[in-house]
Copies of this chain bind each other. A is one copy, B any other.
Amino acid sequence: MLLCDIGNTTYNFLEINTNTLLELNYKKSVDSFSPSEFVQKIYYICVNQKIKSKLKNLDNWIDLSLELNINNYYDTMGIDRIMACEAIKNGVIVDAGSAITVDVVQNGIFSGGFIYPGTIAMGNAYKNISQALSYEFNYSLDLEKLPKNSQDAISYGYLKLLHSEVVKYDMDIILTGGDADKLAFVFPNARIDKMLVFNGMKKIIK
């Protein structure tokens, strides 16, 4: 079985050998890969509108967003966020990519969520204000202490504020996305699950 999570820059594939249950995860660039190369059945989700309209004409590409009860979500919510929510019953999902999306799921129902800049976007925001704020974030910052130096002052502004909001729900925290490992320093009790979106897709296929 072949699953594909299509973003703005990559096709992210998960190939599952249903006999051995071995899984193979690989990416292809949006610029170089042509979806008509594949003839087998592929279950996909796609946030890239241009690619989505291409795939509509290929019978072997199955759009999983059509198999979903989306009434619990909202119109402009990314289908990757929705699939991650479908993967869990209770918890706070922190998906750290170019943006950080934080979504709360209670008893299998999406309670709402918010969007925060990703690590690169936020670093650039500080840098663009002033060269005096051009620091790397300190992910091992002491979150219990108000800073008295510039690097910690911006790190606290970015990370502590996110931390306080995420932990206040007192639920399991699941980190996913490319920067999950960085945020693991800030959320030491969180579970990292980079397959969360695929897990949601598998659930829908069943």
Contacts and interface: CB of A to CB of B under 8 A. Distances in A.
Interface of A: 8, 73-77, 98-99, 101-102, 104, 111-118, 121-122, 124-126, 128-130, 132-133, 145-150, 152-154, 156-158, 160-162, 164-165, 168
Given A99-B126, A99-B130, A121-B129, 13 more contacts: A74-B149, A74-B150, A76-B132, A76-B150, A99-B133, A114-B154, A115-B126, A115-B133, A116-B157, A116-B158, A121-B125, A121-B128, A124-B128
Contact of A125 (B113, B122, B145, B148): B122
A150 B76 CA distance: 7
A113 B164 contact: no
In the complex this chain forms, how many copies of it are found? 2
Considering residues A75, A101, A125, A133, which has the most beta carbons from chain B within 10 angstroms of its beta carbon? A125
